């Protein structure tokens, strides 16, 4: 095919669409079903209506081929487990009794059985349920859901393309089932899984699918030659089938690298490739490989994960190049639109100027259609649209929100020395010990205390104007008094104020910093029926006034023991927001760091001797490709140090991370140069302590001795045993005693009992030293 006919064919499509509906109707229906207030039939009807609305929205925007099967009651990887019959043994009875209840049992567990494990979908904040497989797994095809959703779309008279998680990605995301040898590699089940996909493909073809999409995002991660071989073999086998629809293999989130030639050589009819962000390199790599002249290319030129309008002219440039590299070219967002909110026009509270910079799912679909039309019919047919787009981009680039000269000046003036403490750790530690006078094995917590119903009511009352700011602050102050007095009585050594005033550790600061926007309806699925509304980091970041000093100093005024200041670090402030895409992340992180640095110094000036800067997102933000890790860790650790290094040697800097597996960032953790780090460790029996010791980590460490993910209260003997394990790796002079993470999701009775046990265990262990 010539490039010209490739252009003539150009259509618009998307890989997936938000599931929840404009008012999170899906969440309400599912949670209603769980409570017994919504029947299964009503739930199914609600879901069907939402799918129809979504398809209509896409079709009316001009999307020529709509996706099906992207809808889910909980998670599309769990749906895939159902499709291939990989139901864990412990859920079998529930699934056999009632498919829907069994499905939710796998997702959420029941009184009797644990759910599947949940983890992050690549480097997004969406969580999937991890398939559990073993050498005895027997797969069996169940294409019911896929076929039904395809039929719905076809009945509406639409061209529809079922989207499946591909077999290779499915296996690479799986883990050995409980009881199976942990060294078992699920990818070894490929030959057993392919016949199931063969059957599903045949069913979909029989139901009327011309094309089926196989999502293989696992191919953008670093893969071994054996894994790439497996992928090549899977596509060869599926390609060789006679009774099958045309296959479109999709990848997204990063560049394909060595997987690109595997896909290009495979006998599938189409490839969907991401050309945005770190995946922009796919363009040059595709050209270098000679393109895919025999294939349909679905070009992901619109970033499916951010909230910003596309540079349509720039995308047309990319598309023009791609026309020469493929048999035909369609336009699409880079990945499913699941990761962005539904509709930017719902944000009526935003400055209208600023809302023109935003594109959520609906707007991205519209951009996709515009680009396809320009490609097909010529840019003259969309001149007005391109002009408006250029004007919006110019307004963003020239706005005072995105370019604050004072912020820019400050960021440009940063020197290496600003990101270095004035004394090395060993010397500071002496000064801190003298100032704080803490006992060995000091007890502290991670920051938050239970977010009680009273606190939630207070926030709702404030929002509904039933109380004024003064009334609200009185309630917060009362809670802080309670938290401080409990800690004093219990014998905690370094106190916290409890974070009663914080709805969320990122949103709280986003609301106080210049440069962030808040949405009213910008919900995105985090997992199941849990949706989050990430703030939007839109502009240059500055701090108009102290954010935490008043509550911290109030708490300190109530006690003679040190109260720890509590801040969220720059990487986490970026990771849990939608971040501007018009400058490198490292630059944005630096601006946030400088704002936090002011806060840190103000806290210090107010007499705060211990300041904690949380970075739970440090590891999850790690780029997918190992080749990109060093650059990321470079700016990530620098921004942390920039936020914290301005303090006096005798001021103690803490940090906190919520996970126990961090082998690949251990050097970076050292590089943060924090005086004390607390980590999750209770479930892994203090293994982190051994790992840090093996690395030669020289600073103080608080491996968690209280698993806060469970309502269980650890008894004193159990904590003592964990502390003994910790002491085997970390000397008593450097070991802290603390829970795994914040206590905000726990209830007061458990927290009281658990912390009293922690103190008793610390004291007992101390005396026995
Ligand atoms: N300081 C926060 C808290 O205690 C930390 C939360 C987190 O690590 N996710 O809640
Ligand atoms: Zn944590």
For 219-233, the pLDDT digits (tens) are 999 999 999 999 999
Question: Which amino acids are annotated as binding site for L-homocysteine, given as ranges?
Answer: 446-448, 499, 614
**Ligand 1 atom with least separation from CA of 445:** 4
Cα–Cα distance, 733 to 745 (Å, whole number): 31
Ion ligand 2 neighbours (CB, 5 A) are: 616, 658, 741
690 alpha carbon – ligand 1 mean position (Å): 23
- Predicted pLDDT at 1: 41
How remote is the CA of residue 742 from the centroid of ligand 1, in Å? 5
- Determine the average pLDDT of the residues in 578-591: 98
Whether 709 is catalytic is: yes
Closest ligand 1 atom, CA of 656?
Answer: 8
Q: What are the two backbone dihedrals, phi and then psi, of residue 713, each rounded to the nearest 5 degrees?
A: -100, 120
- By CB atoms closer than 10 A (0-12, 13-18, 19+), residue 233 is middle
Ligand 1 pocket test, pick from 495, 526, 566, 656 with the greatest ligand atom count within 8 Å of Cβ, gives 656
Q: Which ligand is nearest to the CA of 575?
A: 1
β-strands 610-614, 564-568: how paired?
parallel
State the binding site for Zn(2+): 656, 658, 671, 680, 741
In the reported structure, the alpha carbon of residue 132 is separated from the centroid of ligand 1 by a whole-number distance in angstroms of: 30
Beta bridge partners of 273: 299
The mean pLDDT of 328-342, rounded to a whole number, is: 98
What SS3 class is residue 239? Answer: helix
* Per-residue confidence (pLDDT) for residue 656, from 0 to 100: 97
Cβ burial 474-490 (10 Å sphere, 16+ → b, else e): ebbbebbeebbebbeeb
Which residues are CB-neighbours of 199 under 8 A, at least 6 positions away?
141, 143
The pLDDT of residue 552? 98
Ligand 1 atom nearest to 447, measured from its CA = 4
pLDDT(3) > 70: no
| Among 76, 127, 339, 709, the one annotated catalytic | 709
What pLDDT, in 10s, does the model give residues 608-627? 999 999 999 999 899 999 99
User: In percent, how much of the chain has pLDDT > 90?
Assistant: 96
CA 568–ligand 1 middle distance (angstroms): 8
Q: Which ligand is nearest to the CA of 448?
A: 1
Measuring from atom 9 of ligand 1, which residue has the nearest CA? 616
Confidence of residue 420 (pLDDT cuts 50, 70, 90): very high
- Burial of 123 (C-beta count, 10 Å sphere; 0-12/13-18/19+): middle
Higher-pLDDT residue of 2, 460: 460
Q: Which of 454-468, 653-667, 705-719 has the lowest mean pLDDT?
A: 653-667
Q: Which atom of ligand 1 is nearest to the CA of 657?
A: 8
Ligand 1 atom nearest the C-alpha of 612 is: 1
Residue 543 in this model has a pLDDT that exceeds 60: yes
Ligand 1 pocket, mutate which of 125, 448, 504, 552 (most atoms under 8 A from CB): 448
Pocket test for ligand 1, best of 614, 659, 704 (most atoms within 8 A of CB): 614
Dist CA 732 CA 135 (whole Å): 45
Ligand at minimal distance from the CA of 743 is: 1
Name the residue at shortest CA distance from atom 4 of ligand 1: 742
Average pLDDT along the chain = 96
pLDDT at 655: 98
Q: Which residues line ligand 1 (CB under 6 A)?
A: 446-448, 499, 505, 566, 614, 616, 656, 658, 741-742, 744
Pick out the residues of the known binding site. 24-27, 120, 125, 446-448, 499, 576, 614, 620, 656, 658, 671, 680, 741
Residue located via tokens 């983890």: 119
> Which ligand is located closest to the Cα atom of residue 680?
2
Reported as a pLDDT band with limits 50, 70 and 90, residue 8 is confident
4 — pLDDT class (breaks 50, 70, 90): low
Residue 742 alpha carbon, nearest atom of ligand 1: 4
**Of 62, 5, 80, 578, whose CA–CA distance to 332 is shortest?**
62
Region 7-22 average pLDDT: 93
pLDDT at 100: 98
Whether residue 231 contacts residue 262, with contact meaning beta carbons closer than 8 Å, is answered with yes
Assign 684 a pLDDT band (cuts: 50, 70, 90). confident
- Residue 659 has a pLDDT of 78
Question: What residue owns the CA closest to ligand 1's atom 5?
Answer: 742
Tell me the binding residues for L-methionine: 446-448, 499, 614
Query: pTM of the predicted model, to two decimals?
Result: 0.96
- In percent, the amount of the chain with pLDDT more than 70 equals 99
* Distance in Å, CA 116 to ligand 1 centroid: 25
- How far, in Å, from the CA of 600 to the mean position of ligand 1? 17
Sign of CA dihedral 356, 360, 364, 366: negative
For ligand 1, atom 6, the nearest C-alpha belongs to 742
Burial class (CB in 10 A: 0-12, 13-18, 19+), 544: exposed
Whether the pLDDT of residue 564 is over 50: the answer is: yes
Q: Residue 513 Cα, ligand 2 centroid: separation in angstroms? A: 23
- What is the C-alpha to C-alpha distance for residues 252 and 326, in angstroms, rounded to an integer? 18
User: Cα–Cα distance between 356 and 275 in angstroms, integer?
Assistant: 23
Cβ neighbors of 460 (< 8 A, separation 6 or more) are: none
Residue 2 has pLDDT above 70, yes or no: no
Per-residue pLDDT at 459 exceeds 90: yes
Q: Whose CA is nearest to atom 1 of ligand 1?
A: 447
| Ligand 1, atom 10, residue with closest C-alpha | 742
Compute, in angstroms, the gap from residue 477 CA to the centroid of ligand 1.
20
Q: Which residues are annotated as a binding site for 5-methyltetrahydropteroyltri-L-glutamate?
A: 24-27, 120, 125, 576, 620
Confidence category of residue 664, pLDDT binned at 50, 70, 90: confident
């Amino acid at each position: 095919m010539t490039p010209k006919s490739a252009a003539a064919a150009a259509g618009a499509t998307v890989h997936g669409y938000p599931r929840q509906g404009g008012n999170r109707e899906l969440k309400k229906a599912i949670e209603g079903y769980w409570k017994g207030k919504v029947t299964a039939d009503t739930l199914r009807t609600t879901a069907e209506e939402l799918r129809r609305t979504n398809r209509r929205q896409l079709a009316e925007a001009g999307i020529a081929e709509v996706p099906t099967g992207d809808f889910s009651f909980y998670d599309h990887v769990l749906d895939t487990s159902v499709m291939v019959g990989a139901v864990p043994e412990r859920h079998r009875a529930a699934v056999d009794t009632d498919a829907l209840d069994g499905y939710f049992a796998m997702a959420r567990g029941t009184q009797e059985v644990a759910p599947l494990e949940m983890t992050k979908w690549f480097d997004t904040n969406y969580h999937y349920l991890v398939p559990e497989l073993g050498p005895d797994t027997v797969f069996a095809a169940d294409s019911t859901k896929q076929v039904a959703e395809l039929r719905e779309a076809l009945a509406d008279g639409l061209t529809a393309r079922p989207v499946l998680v591909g077999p290779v990605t499915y296996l690479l995301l799986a883990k050995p089932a409980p009881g199976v040898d942990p060294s078992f590699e699920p990818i070894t089940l490929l030959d057993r899984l392919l016949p199931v996909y063969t059957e599903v493909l045949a069913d979909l073809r029989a139901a009327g699918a011309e094309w089926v999409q196989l999502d293989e995002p696992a191919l953008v991660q670093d893969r071994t030659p054996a894994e790439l071989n497996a992928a090549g073999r899977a596509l060869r086998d599926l390609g060789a089938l006679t009774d099958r629809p045309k296959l479109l293999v999709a990848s997204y989130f990063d560049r394909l690298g060595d997987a690109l030639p595997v896909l290009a050589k495979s006998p599938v009819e189409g490839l969907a490739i991401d050309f945005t962000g770190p995946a922009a390199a796919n363009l040059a790599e595709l050209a270098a490989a000679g393109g895919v002249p025999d294939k349909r290319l679905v070009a992901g030129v619109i970033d499916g994960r951010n909230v910003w309008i596309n540079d349509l002219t720039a995308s047309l440039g990319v598309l023009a190049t791609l026309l020469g590299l493929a048999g035909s070219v369609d336009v699409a967002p880079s990945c499913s639109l699941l990761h962005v909110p539904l509709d930017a026009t719902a944000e009526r509270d935003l400055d209208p100027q600023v809302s023109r910079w935003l594109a959520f799912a609906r707007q991205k679909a519209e951009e996709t259609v515009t680009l396809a039309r320009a490609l097909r019919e010529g840019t003259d047919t969309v001149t007005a649209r391109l002009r408006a787009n250029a004007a919006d981009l110019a307004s963003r680039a020239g706005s005072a929100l995105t370019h604050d000269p004072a912020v820019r000046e400050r960021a440009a003036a940063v020197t290496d020395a600003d990101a270095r403490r004035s004394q090395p750790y060993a010397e500071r530690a002496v000064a801190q010990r003298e100032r704080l006078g803490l006992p060995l094995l000091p007890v502290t917590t991670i920051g938050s205390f239970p977010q009680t119903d009273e606190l939630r009511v207070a926030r709702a009352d404030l929002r509904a104007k039933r109380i004024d700011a003064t009334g609200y602050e009185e309630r917060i102050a009362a809670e802080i008094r309670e938290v401080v007095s409990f800690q004093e009585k219990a014998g905690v050594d370094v106190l916290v104020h409890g974070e009663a005033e914080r709805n969320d550790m990122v949103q709280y600061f986003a609301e106080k910093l210049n440069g962030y926007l808040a949405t009213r309806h910008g919900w995105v699925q985090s997992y199941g029926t849990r949706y989050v509304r990430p703030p939007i980091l839109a502009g240059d970041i500055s701090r108009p006034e102290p954010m935490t000093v008043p509550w911290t100093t109030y708490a300190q005024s109530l006690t003679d023991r040190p109260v720890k200041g509590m801040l969220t670090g720059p990487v986490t402030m970026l990771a849990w927001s939608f971040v501007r895409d018009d400058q490198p992340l490292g630059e944005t992180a630096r601006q946030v760091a400088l704002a936090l640095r002011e806060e840190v110094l103000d806290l210090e000036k107010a007499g705060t001797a211990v300041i904690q800067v949380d970075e739970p997102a440090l590891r999850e933000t790690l780029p997918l490709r190992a080749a990109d890790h060093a650059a990321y860790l470079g700016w990530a650790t620098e921004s942390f140090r920039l936020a914290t290094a301005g303090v006096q040697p005798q001021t103690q800097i803490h940090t906190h991370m919520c996970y126990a597996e961090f082998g690949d960032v251990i050097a970076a953790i050292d590089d943060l140069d924090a005086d004390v780090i607390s980590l999750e460790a209770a479930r892994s029996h203090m293994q982190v302590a051994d790992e840090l010791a093996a690395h030669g980590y020289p600073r103080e460490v608080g491996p968690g001795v209280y698993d806060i993910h469970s309502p269980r209260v650890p008894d004193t003997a159990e904590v003592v045993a964990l502390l003994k394990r910790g002491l085997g790796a970390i000397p008593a002079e450097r070991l802290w005693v603390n829970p795994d993470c914040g206590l905000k999701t726990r209830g007061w009775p458990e927290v009281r009992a658990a912390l009293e046990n922690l103190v008793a265990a610390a004291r007992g262990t101390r005396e026995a030293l």
